[in-house]
Amino acid sequence: MLVQRPEHLERVYADREDNPEAKRLFGWLESQFKGTGVGFADMTALACALDLPIRCAPDWEFIDSVLGHSDGPGARHLRQVLADSFSEQARQRGVENTVVLSIAQAVLTRGMLKSAVGKATVAAEARAAAGSMPRGGLRDATAKARPLPAVGEEAAAAGAERLVTVTGRLRAPRDLSAIQARLVEAEALETGARQTAVLKDLAKLRPLPERPPAGVIAGEALWRDYVTYWERRFSELSGPDARTAGIRPPLAWESYRRFRTRFARAMKFQSDVSAMLQGEVEKPQGKRQLLHEMARPQIDENVGLAHEGSDTRTYVDQLAVDEATLENGAPRVEAFSTKQRDFTAMSDHDLRMQVEVDAREALRKYGGTVEIRRQGHPLFERRVTVTQVHVVYDESLVPQVPTLREEMKAIAGKQGVTLHFHHAR
Amino acid sequence: MHADEWNAQDRFAFEILSPLNPFAQGLEALDEILDLVESTGREFRPKHMTLKRRLKYSRKVLRERLDEVTFRGSISFTLGCTHFRDSFFSVSSFLKTTEDAKFGLSLHVNPFAIFREPGKAEERALVLVKLARGFASRFPVSYGFAHSGTDFAMGSDPHLRDSFAPKQVYEAHWLNLYGPRMVEQIGRQRVLSTPAFLLEELPGGAVLFLTRPTPADFASEEARLAQARALVHLRPELKLEDVLAALRQRSLAFSPIEPDFDPDIADLLSLILQRSGLDRKRQDIERLNHYRPPPPSEWLPARDAPSPDVPDVAEAIRLYEYQYAEQLAALLHKEVPSVMDASPESLPQIDYFLWWRGWGPRLPEAERELLIQSLGAYLGMLLVHRLGGRWVPRRSPEEAAVIVGGRAWLPFLRARHHVQSRQAALDCSLTQLFRYAQRFLH
């Protein structure tokens, strides 16, 4: 087919006026690119709404598989389709204009960029294979691409810079599907008030984009999200297997708002912890508190893990890998689970039980032998045994009772889990 | 303040670690453990048990439902004491194990004062001694202790947080239980000649000793002397006077002192003190007694205040009071319910909450701006409605003022200073500005 054959793509593009088969094929491609743009815009909107520090990336794998390094008129046309559908959808979802523009630019210049990066990456991989340097992510390769006197150097350099700016409020590209999975998981566990499951009555409660409740501005992103969420849930509930699938009715607006606020705070806490771990990475090994066992740690967020004998994928908040052990049969891998659990109103007894439950849950979800499902991760598709599981609580929500804090650590320790208290400053 | 009230946060910690998991040979060991736990007498013996949920204590049910508390082969459950509501035993075989720590039996007593109760202290102390003896006569022991939890946490023994710490002498606690390996390492003769209130060789080669008749007076001069003597005997490289000085320093944490805070923010600082654990409470009071926040800088003489530059003054005030100040209620109503009353008494609570949770510096930028807006409007509204002030709305919120008496206060600017850092929430508290405004009114 068209995949990995840019010359063929250009031929199809050129022939589309005269050849109905080529026209149909190109039309199909256009719709695929359009869909990719819309999907990417939705993810970006979600990231912005949650105020994630990272802006994510589109499905480069799909885009590159079709366009390769080509910069012919067909490839340019498809990039434009992608950028346009992205921009339109992102604006509709209320994404900031500057963000829309810079991402659209990155999409458009990606082809040229890719050709420059391609060379740098090949060279980097050759050196990595020779064992002389660690494999870096796109950011490393991109940074290295800049000084290369490669094809279209100036444009490539500008594109590289822009991409770094766009993806670059971050340390590593954040896996947005993981955030979505978590949002879904958190929504299912949400205990706030829900509306009726009786469709006839529920229909009467339909929220309208232009008629938000008092105190909410019509254009507010969260209200738009709520309307989208409500409509999706309504249509799921109307589906034939809603009952068997255990679909719950939508949250009432106030509960939804509280739920999203809490979720955003949890995400913020997670990125605080990531920043703290990143700070550790930059310290000499002897000065690190958490990553002292690692010679060259690399931290990634929301890494998907597959578990033996289970279809459920888990997403670990932070995964630390010691790059110095990558060539070993057993690389050193540490998993961090961050939790904003409010212990302040719990009895001593319940607090201890909760720590044990959390430790066991962290072991179940992130411990043992796992397969790493993050593309581009140095251990992608490798089965590894997690060396150490950590739980990080929000320090401000733990009672200031030294005995309790010490014992919490011991309880987790008896499960083999290391406990930390993090107070963001 | 009475010592028991001051020390209300202290817990009693007791744990025995075993190099053998009794459940490894089968569940017969469960009965032996329960025999021990039940032998602690009518006050301590279990009334409840927590499996998946809390149930009435029953051996039969426990045995039947043990799988509820088993995780990858490790078993862990708790048994609530009959007479003490927040006291319980914890029985657990560890998932992670080391050669000398595979199983632990612990007893958590809250509050510590249970061991100070007049007429009961000796009897209750004896329960613990019997429990330690009984355990050592049935199962091998590697290490055990019983002591004030806070004092323990302030010392150098890591066993409260880490059951796998090397088994060696760190401190002399009230009750000390050394396993045979440890005893051999120190030298049996040396261990047996430790100056102690009571010292016993137990079956299996373990040694138990008490520094004092009861755990109650661990911070007293006699107890510190006894602890120091025992410790330097077991660790001859230590000097008695050094050990004693460190122990006396620790004792200070348990003797009350009175706060003498800056009167403008005394209520705020008292709230902040809630975040000081007993181990730090005394030194925090000493520090806060010296703390005087800088006087508020967010004001102008009333005659220098600019005039309103907004097109519609009434509308601007409505925006401040009905929208911005309302936002604060929306943001904090759950965490600081008193914002709903819009009373000056809510200010220390708002300051405290924002200091404690560090929201200001932690919030994403957009939310932080929202917080500044709502804090400023809320403070301004109180100045207007409680002190008879007058709004001077400005296009730039930092210039918006409330004139009270001879001064024009800048509530939004204060709010911006407030959210810079956790320390700024104290240095630039809303509470202090309000009290100053109140004072300059007269």
Residues B146 and B190 in one domain: yes
Of A339-353, A364-378, B31-45, B318-332, the poorest mean pLDDT is in: B318-332
Q: How many structural domains are present in chain B?
A: 3
Q: What is the per-residue pLDDT for A105?
A: 60
Residues B215 and B282 in one domain: no
* Closest C-alpha to A278, from A260, A293, A290, A261: A290
Question: Got the DSSP string for B220-268?
Answer: SHHHHHHHHHHHHHH-TTS-HHHHHHHHHHHHHTTS-------GGGHHH
Q: Which of B190, B223, B252 is the last residue of a domain?
A: B252
Residues B271 and B150 in one domain: no
| Number of Cβ within a 10 Å radius of residue B18 | 24
Q: How far apart are CA A311 and CA A305, in angstroms?
A: 10
Q: How far apart are CA B61 and CA B44, in angstroms?
A: 20
User: Which structure tokens are listed for B194?
Assistant: 């430790």
Q: What is the per-residue pLDDT for B32?
A: 95
CA distance B301 to chain A (A): 35
* Closest C-alpha to A113, from A142, A140, A90: A142
Yes or no, beta carbons of B90 and A401 under 8 Å apart:
no
CA distance A52 to chain B (A): 9
Q: What is the per-residue pLDDT for A232?
A: 87
Q: What is the per-residue pLDDT for A176?
A: 60
Residues B149 and B192 in one domain: yes
Nearest CA in chain A to B75: A415
A381 has pLDDT over 80: yes
Q: How far apart are CA B81 and CA B92, in angstroms?
A: 17
User: Helix or strand or coil: residue A63?
Assistant: helix
The verdict on B370 touching A (C-beta cutoff 8 Å) is no
Q: How far apart are CA B383 and CA B430, in angstroms?
A: 11
Q: How far apart are CA B305 and CA A92, in angstroms?
A: 44
Confidence label for A112 from pLDDT (cuts 50, 70 and 90): very low
Q: Which residue has the higher pLDDT, A402 or A59?
A: A402
Mean per-residue pLDDT, A258-273: 84
Angle between helices B346-357 and B365-387 (to 10 degrees): 160
**Chain A positions in Cβ-Cβ contact with residue B275 (cut-off 8 Å):** 400
Q: Are A316 and A335 in contact (CB under 8 A)?
A: yes
Q: How far apart are CA B173 and CA B128, in angstroms?
A: 13
Q: Which residue has the higher pLDDT, A197 or B90?
A: B90
DSSP label of B322 = I
A61 has pLDDT over 80: no
Using a pLDDT cut of 90, give the percent of chain A over it: 33
User: Helix or strand or coil: residue B92?
Assistant: strand
Residues B281 and B342 in one domain: no
Nearest CA in chain A to B419: A425
DSSP label of B85 = T
Residue B341 CB burial class (10 angstroms; 0-12, 13-18, ≥19): exposed
> How many A/B residue pairs have CB atoms within 8 Å?
105
DSSP label of A208 = B
User: Helix or strand or coil: residue B7?
Assistant: coil
A126 has pLDDT over 60: no
Q: How far apart are CA B232 and CA B244, in angstroms?
A: 10
Mean per-residue pLDDT, A29-50: 74
Mean per-residue pLDDT, A327-332: 88
User: Helix or strand or coil: residue A391?
Assistant: strand
User: Which structure tokens are listed for B232?
Assistant: 């330097």
Yes or no, beta carbons of A402 and B154 under 8 Å apart:
yes
Nearest CA in chain B to A351: B86
Q: Are B207 and B191 in contact (CB under 8 A)?
A: yes
CA distance A178 to chain B (A): 21
Residues B367 and B282 in one domain: no
Helices then strands, counting H and E runs in chain A, come out as 13, 7
Residues B232 and B308 in one domain: no
Of A208-222, A277-291, B130-144, B286-300, the poorest mean pLDDT is in: A208-222
Q: Which residue has the higher pLDDT, A125 or B281?
A: B281
∠B25-B31-B32 over CA atoms, to 5°? 80
Q: What is the per-residue pLDDT for A2?
A: 56
Residues 186-245 of B with CB under 8 A from A: none
| Number of Cβ within a 10 Å radius of residue B58 | 12
Winning range, highest mean pLDDT, from A157-161, A264-268, A342-346, B100-104: B100-104
Residues B150 and B264 in one domain: no
**Extended beta strands in B53-193, E state:** 54-56, 70-71, 74-81, 88-98, 101-109, 143-148, 175-178
Q: How far apart are CA A370 and CA A384, in angstroms?
A: 6
Confidence label for A62 from pLDDT (cuts 50, 70 and 90): low
Nearest CA in chain A to B272: A400
Angle between helices A97-129 and A73-92 (to 10 degrees): 130
Q: How far is CA B67 from CA B36, B288, B341, in A?
A: 22, 51, 51
Q: Which of B290, B308, B342 is the last residue of a domain?
A: B290
A139 has pLDDT over 50: no
What residue ranges of chain B have pLDDT lower than 70? none
Residues 136-165 of B with CB under 8 A from A: 149-150, 152-154, 159-164
Q: How far apart are CA B324 and CA B310, in angstroms?
A: 16
On the CB side of A316, CA atoms within 13 Å amount to 33
Q: What is the per-residue pLDDT for A71?
A: 66
Mean per-residue pLDDT, A284-299: 94
Instruction: Write the pLDDT tens digit of every residue in A297-314.
Output: 999 998 999 998 888 888
Query: Which H or E element spans position B199?
Result: strand B198-201
Residues B216 and B331 in one domain: no
* Closest C-alpha to B88, from B50, B121, B129: B50
A418 phi/psi in degrees, rounded to 5: -95, 130
Of A53-67, A108-122, A187-201, A315-329, the poorest mean pLDDT is in: A108-122
- Tell me how far apart the 2 most distant CA atoms of chain B are, in Å: 91
The verdict on B357 touching A (C-beta cutoff 8 Å) is yes
Helices then strands, counting H and E runs in chain B, come out as 20, 15
CA distance A79 to chain B (A): 32
Classify A51 in phi/psi space as left (phi over 0), alpha (psi -120 to 50) or beta.
Answer: left
Residues B62 and B171 in one domain: yes
In this complex, which of A400, A413, A414 lies closest to B275 when CB atoms are compared? A400
Q: Specify the pTM.
A: 0.75
Return mean pLDDT, chain A: 76
- Interface mutation target, options B52, B77, B95, chain A, most CBs of A under 10 Å: B95
Q: What is the per-residue pLDDT for A70?
A: 66
Residues B278 and B412 in one domain: no
Q: Which residue has the higher pLDDT, A113 or A199?
A: A199
Yes or no, beta carbons of A415 and B74 under 8 Å apart:
yes
A134 has pLDDT over 60: no
Query: Could you tell me how far CA A207 lies from the centroid of its own chain?
Result: 29
User: Helix or strand or coil: residue A122?
Assistant: helix
Q: How far apart are CA B407 and CA B442, in angstroms?
A: 12
Q: How far is CA B440 from CA A424, B365, B383, B389, B429, in A?
A: 37, 34, 12, 12, 17
A123 has pLDDT over 80: no
Angle between helices A6-15 and A60-67 (to 10 degrees): 70
Q: Are B196 and B230 in contact (CB under 8 A)?
A: yes
Query: Which H or E element spans position A20?
Result: helix A20-49
| Number of Cβ within a 10 Å radius of residue A98 | 8
Q: Are B141 and B206 in contact (CB under 8 A)?
A: yes
CA distance B255 to chain A (A): 17
Q: What is the per-residue pLDDT for A335?
A: 98
**What contacts B121, CB < 8 A, 6 or more positions away?**
B115, B214, B216
B228 lies in which domain range? 3-252
Q: How far apart are CA B177 and CA B132, in angstroms?
A: 8
Q: Is the dihedral of CA B155, B156, B157, B159 positive or negative?
A: positive
Instruction: Write the pLDDT tens digit of every residue in B248-296.
Output: 999 999 999 999 999 999 999 999 998 899 999 999 999 999 999 999 9
A89 phi/psi in degrees, rounded to 5: -65, -40
The verdict on B7 touching A (C-beta cutoff 8 Å) is no
DSSP label of A425 = -
